Amino acid sequence: MKNFLLAGAALSLISACSQAAAPAKPEAPAVEMVETVPELSPLQVAMNDSARSDEEKARDAWRHPVETLEFFGVEPSDTVIEIWPGGGWYTNILAPYLAAGGGTLVAAGFDPAAAPDEERRKRTESRLAEFKANYADPHFGTIEYSVFSGISGPLAAPGSADAVLTFRNVHNWMSGGYTEKFFTDAFAALKPGGVLGVVEHRLPSTATQDPTGATGYVHEDFVKARAIAAGFEFAGASEINANPADTADHPFGVWTLPPNSKSTGSDGNTPDGFDRARYADIGESDRMTLKFVKPE
């Protein structure tokens, strides 16, 4: 028994020594969590450009510039003609986008020669000069300039453009009586395979089309027919800029809706029962987004 107890004590001592000699298990290194930020596309970078005001960016939710330009297939190396850029809402996206990619923007503005009187001719020239001054910064690249009207010459050298884009202008040309000229001029300016992109306020197919476009709303079939008559092939439509809440039957046409939010007529009076909040809730107009291609 004494030997047995001594043997047990020895085994216990050996076991204790073994445990004491075992190296401590190293702690696992701390894993640093790094949040990955998705890389912005060149178009998204242009949309976030510092030249754009907060007011402009607030309209992105209605105009969807990135999705619209992607649908039209505009590449940063393209030569793009923007028709009647107005205050430059789309120009502030297109110009830096094309400048960064080696492309060229051609801004085809209002034509002073088409002004009905001297006063409006001078006003148009002043607006063009102001527009050019706004985009003289190298940040926007070298913008080329052209004009468009019922009497204007070519938009650009024949077959030189990859894309011709127009945003909410067709109704103006219907009023002026030179809608067909626009599609013919655009066709001539485009390279074979070039794209014509049209965004316009959409009139429901069940509504009667005013041939002068006085309400600002236009049938899709009207636009398609004019483009096809000029030689284009219809390449597709997108609902990117659709607004089902817009019924297109407002007291002051499309200008009743934001951003114009018109509430008085030419007589300065507001219709009885006019509810400004109702039109503000609708938001901006329902718009067609159509893509046409010049055949190869």
Give residue-wise pLDDT tens across range 103-114. 999 999 999 999
Flag whether the pTM goes above 0.75.
Answer: yes
Continuous segment of H or E residues that includes residue 97: helix 91-101
Per-residue pLDDT tens digits for 115-163? 999 999 999 999 999 999 999 999 999 999 999 999 999 999 999 999 9
**3-state secondary structure at position 158:** coil
Cα separation of 292 and 232, whole Å? Answer: 6
Residue 92, phi then psi, degrees to nearest 5: -65, -10
**3-state secondary structure at position 146:** strand
What type of residue is 47?
M
Q: pLDDT band for position 38 (50/70/90)? A: confident
Cα separation of 158 and 143, whole Å? Answer: 18
CB 102 within 8 A of CB 146: no
CB 176 within 8 A of CB 213: no
- The pLDDT value recorded for residue 8 is 47
Q: What is the set of domains in the chain, with CATH numbers?
A: 40-250+285-293 (3.40.50.150)
The first and second tokens of residue 34, run together, are 């790094």
| Residue whose pair of structure tokens reads 């073994």 in the numeric block | 18
Return the DSSP state at 157: S
If you count DSSP H runs as helices and E runs as strands, how many of each does the chain have, helices first? 11, 7
From the list 76, 78, 94, the residue with the least C-alpha distance to 194 is: 78
